[in-house]
């Protein structure tokens, strides 16, 4: 009977460990290759400046390529992409140049991404 209790205890410990890993540690393994992935990771852990740059650039390109959004704002996807390419380097230096190397909260990430997309001309100020 002791062997059954020990086996059940080991199974419970293993299940608890698996749950903790999935809820905490797997989030830090998210590869930031989109703005959505950046926000998901920022909800659970800090994100690096490089990850924020990737996500913000992805967001700007996505907004520029949305014809209905651009037409509503009086532009076109081609014009937006031209502005984005023209201002990208300057805006990266201006917006990210004095930024910390990591961001601890989702709200910080959203705020800097908004400043960046506005700077490159993807959205209005």
Of the candidates 114, 119, 125, 2, which has an alpha carbon nearest to the alpha carbon of residue 55? 114
H runs (alpha helix) in the chain: 2-20, 35-44, 49-64, 67-72, 77-96, 106-119
pLDDT at 125: 46
* CA atoms within 13 Å, Cβ hemisphere of 95: 25
The predicted structure's pLDDT at residue 95: 96
pLDDT of amino acid 111: 96
Query: 3-state DSSP call for residue 103?
Result: strand
What pLDDT shows up at residue 12? 63
- Where the chain has pLDDT below 70, the residues are 1, 3-5, 7-10, 12, 14-28, 124-125
φ, ψ of residue 107 to 5 degrees: the values are -65, -35
Specify the pLDDT at position 123: 84
Q: What is the pLDDT of residue 117?
A: 96
The per-residue pLDDT for 30 is: 83
| pTM beyond cutoff 0.85 | no
What pLDDT does residue 106 have? 96
């Amino acid at each position: 009977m002791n062997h059954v209790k020990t086996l059940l205890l080991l199974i419970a410990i293993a299940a608890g460990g698996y749950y903790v890993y999935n809820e905490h540690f797997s989030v830090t393994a998210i590869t930031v290759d989109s703005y959505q992935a950046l926000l998901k990771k920022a909800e659970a852990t800090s994100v690096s400046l490089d990850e924020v740059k990737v996500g913000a650039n992805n967001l700007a390109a996505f907004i520029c390529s949305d014809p209905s959004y651009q037409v509503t704002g009086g532009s076109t996807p081609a014009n937006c992409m031209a502005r984005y390419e023209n201002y990208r380097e300057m805006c990266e230096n201006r917006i990210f140049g004095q930024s910390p190397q990591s961001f601890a909260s989702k709200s910080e990430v959203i705020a800097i991404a908004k400043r960046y997309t506005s700077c490159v001309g993807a959205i209005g100020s």
